[in-house]
């Protein structure tokens, strides 16, 4: 089952305890604890992937920095890519915590 996490959260907040399969062709229902377990498993995987992507982006950013001498021209592709990487890394720190 691939539940829509936002929809499940909304249903849980509204007091739902039984959840239909997201595929209308599948006539299975899930208990709250099953939905919660599934959601937490997905969150753990997503968090691990986010850490991996942060490490990769940080490394790419360092390489870009040394290759372009941290270009701050304000318009070239290197500058824009660096700016985007910095923005994403700052957001990762906010979302994943201080170890990011
Ligand atoms: Zn530049």
> Tokens at residue 19, please?
């959840």
Compute, in angstroms, the gap from residue 64 CA to the centroid of ligand 1: 11
CA 16 – CA 18 distance, rounded (Å): 6
Range(s) of the domain holding residue 22: 5-96
Summarised one tens digit per residue, pLDDT across range 25-78 is 999 999 999 999 999 999 999 999 999 999 999 999 999 989 888 888 889 999
Q: For the chain, what is the domain count?
A: 1
Compute, in angstroms, the gap from residue 80 CA to the centroid of ligand 1: 8
pLDDT of residue 81: 92
Compute, in angstroms, the gap from residue 3 CA to the centroid of ligand 1: 44
CA 81 – CA 25 distance, rounded (Å): 44
């Amino acid at each position: 089952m691939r539940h829509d996490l936002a929809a499940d959260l909304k249903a849980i907040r509204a007091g739902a305890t039984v959840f239909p399969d997201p595929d209308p062709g599948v006539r299975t229902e899930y208990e709250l604890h099953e939905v919660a377990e599934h959601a937490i498993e997905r969150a753990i995987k997503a968090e691990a992937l986010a850490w991996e992507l942060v490490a990769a982006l940080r490394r790419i950013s360092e390489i870009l920095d040394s290759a372009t001498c941290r270009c701050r021209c304000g318009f070239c592709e290197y500058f824009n890519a660096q700016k985007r990487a910095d923005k994403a890394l700052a957001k990762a720190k906010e979302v994943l915590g201080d170890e990011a």
